[in-house]
Amino acid sequence: MEDMTNPTGPRLPSRRDFLALGAGAFVVATVPLARSRRSRRLVRRQVPMMGTIADVAVVHSDPRYAQGAIDAALSELALVERTMSRFRDDSDVGRANLVAASAPVDVTEGTAIVLTEALRWADLSDGAFDPCLARAVALWDVGSRTVPPPEAAYTLYAGRGLHRALELDRSGGHTRVLFHEADIGIDLGGIAKGYGVDRAVEALRSWGIHDALVNVGGDLHVLGVSEDGDAWKVGVRSPTNPSGLTTTVRLTDRAVATSGDYERFFDRDGRRFHHILDPATGEPRRSANHSVTVVADTCMTADAAATTVFGSPRPRAVALLAKAAPHTELLHLT
Ligand code: ADP
Ligand code: MG
């Protein structure tokens, strides 16, 4: 953990400074609102979304216009949830998981983009990131379980490289999904939230918004500057102390995502069983660390990157990021 008493570092924010709640990264207020210029007002809304809280904040002189832009951003997030959730039979992912082992399934452009990027991370990570593990993820169900499933049940998925048996057929101007292995189930839980955040940011941009933030459960993207005119101040939550920060950083037009073992897990016999699986073993990935935070140009990249390198020692994580997404940066590994 970094030393927050370092005199050259930022001051430790108090709890009241937090502008955005969620796991992983936050945005921290820098100037009391009363001191910010009247023409630059921060308008902000938080709603439940994607199993967590979506927090959208817009800096604008007209609060009603800002609310309209926030509506548009939240609609994009809702659309991504509706098309990419594996918990709905009528989403692209739900329909593919029901049918694609026997017949091709049409998916929307957004899902095609996310699947393509997910397969790119799968290739570059030699399968450490695998978007086809929905069945193993459901089997482990770490949110409800208190004991691991039977070994024979999860070793069924070990070392299968299931992502290699997912076909995206792009002929004819649209994308169809086909499974060449019956055990494939698509799960975009490691990447779709980041894509949703980027789509929400695009919606804000199309409304002419220059300064904003979108944060969905700690996966965030900041646009321009905060209401005080300075770069947004983003803090990374400590995995061991939920009200503490491990580090803060000033960001403009960048995205941040965190993956960790401290949000969804159960502990059993001295081992932590969390929600990121090692496709080589079919079990939760062994890790000496509890969380990793990645900064990137897009939140989809940051999200996929953090899920992929979680559990890797720093040099290996840095090498993979350099190969997969050159403009990313490992902000924190703890
Ligand atoms: P969070 O939802 O907390 O932001 P992450 O972005 O770290 O989580 O992604 C974790 C999710 O990714 C899991 O809940 C699961 O849906 C999915 N997943 C688990 N293991 C893998 C893996 N090896 N590759 C890709 N996705 C995975
Ligand atoms: Mg992720």
Return the pLDDT at 27: 74
- pLDDT in the model for residue 12: 43
- Ligand 1 centroid–CA 258 distance in Å is 11
Ligand 1 is surrounded, with C-beta below 6 A, by 129-131, 133, 137, 187, 189-190, 193, 219, 259, 263, 275-277, 279, 303, 306-307
Closest by Cα among 273, 292, 283, 289 to 218: 292
Q: How far, in Å, is the centroid of ligand 2 from the Cα of 147?
A: 24
Q: Where are the beta strands (DSSP E) in 149-305?
A: 166-169, 175-179, 212-216, 219-223, 232-237, 245-251, 254-260, 265-268, 271-274, 277-278, 283-284, 291-296
Of 59, 162, 79, the residue nearest 119 (C-alpha)? 162
Is 0.75 surpassed by the pTM of this model? yes
Nearest ligand atom owner, CA of 51:
1
pLDDT along the chain (334 residues), means of 10: 34 41 63 60 95 96 97 98 97 98 98 98 98 98 96 98 98 96 98 98 98 96 95 89 84 96 93 97 95 97 98 95 95 87
Residue 144 pLDDT: 95
Q: What is the pLDDT of residue 239?
A: 82
Cα–ligand 2 centroid distance for 67 (angstroms): 28
Residue 237: what pLDDT? Answer: 84
